Amino acid sequence: MGRPGAIEVSRLKWSGGTLSAGRRAIPDEVPIALTYDGSSYAVMMATPSDLADFALGFSLSEGVVDDASEIESLEIIEVDGGIEARMWLKPAASARNRGRRRTILGPTGCGLCGVDSIAQALKPLQTIGSGALRVAGAELVAAMAALQKRQVLNTQARAVHAAGLWLGEDDLLVREDVGRHNALDKIIGAAALAGMATGAGVVLLTSRVSVELVQKTARLGAPIIAAISAPTALAVRMADEAGITLAAILRGEDFEIFTRPERITGEGRAHEA
């Protein structure tokens, strides 16, 4: 739900010493206002596609709701200058949220916008149990390659991030956005709507791994993150504390494992319920 993720604009191209006129697809970016029970909670700059997924995923990762069922209704509405994701909460969730409402203005690169204390930014994460999930290194490489092939919007615009949830073989959920945090929120929302077993999943990211992406992954309950770029030092520490396996700098056939390496094997994927 939402508008197309890319729009065409006129441009001049400099090549071989000459200019030529033409058109190019570029990613769209609009203010998305997230409101609960008639009050504004956040305004985030995002790509205006898969907005129901984004609204639900943001609500879950922010802790506004603990489950999708706590949202009584959700409407995506075009307004002057942007889009509103208008949500009404069930009574218990509404009462709980009333005491913690805050206003956030989040630019595209924002992950912890509006957090007003260090303790809030670094609050303890949900811990992922050791479980029995094991994934072969070659499978991570193949999953990342599949994610990149399914970046439809990035193929057009060459300027958006993707997040994926891989559950084995060809079971791959993909969402895209100009903001890497938004892309992961869209995955969280889509997975919740579909009732996916995220505890057996691998989060795939076409970006660096910063702490808020670890926090969102812990909220999702996925035990493994695999990313194209490097993690920050804080992301490594938080992933280890949360029991998350963090693999990064996954390019081509190679990658590096920074935390909980026991989940990555030289054999095929295995999981016991």
Measure CA 113 to chain center: 15
Does residue 129 lie within any of the structural domains? no
- Measured at the CA of 65, the angle between CA 209 and CA 46, to 5 degrees, comes to 50
Distance (Å, whole) CA 98 – CA 37: 9
Does residue 239 lie within any of the structural domains? yes
Mean pLDDT on 34-47 = 93
| Residue ranges making up the domain that contains 187 | 135-265
Does residue 57 lie within any of the structural domains? no
Structure tokens at 59: 């609500």
Q: Would the pTM of this model clear 0.75, i.e. be above it?
A: yes
Task: Please tell me the total count of domains within the chain.
Answer: 1
Which one of the listed residues 26, 30, 74, 110 is annotated catalytic?
110
**Smallest Cα–Cα separation from 188: which of 87, 75, 196?**
196
What is the domain-level CATH number for residue 239?
A: 3.40.140.10
Judge residue 18's burial from the number of C-beta atoms within 10 Å of its C-beta, 0-12 exposed, 13-18 middle, 19 or more buried: exposed
pLDDT band (50, 70, 90) for residue 273: very low
Does residue 261 lie within any of the structural domains? yes
pLDDT number for residue 77:
96
Distance (Å, whole) CA 27 – CA 218: 29
pLDDT, tens only, 181-214: 999 999 999 999 999 999 999 999 999 999 999 9
Please indicate whether residue 110 is annotated as part of the active site.
yes
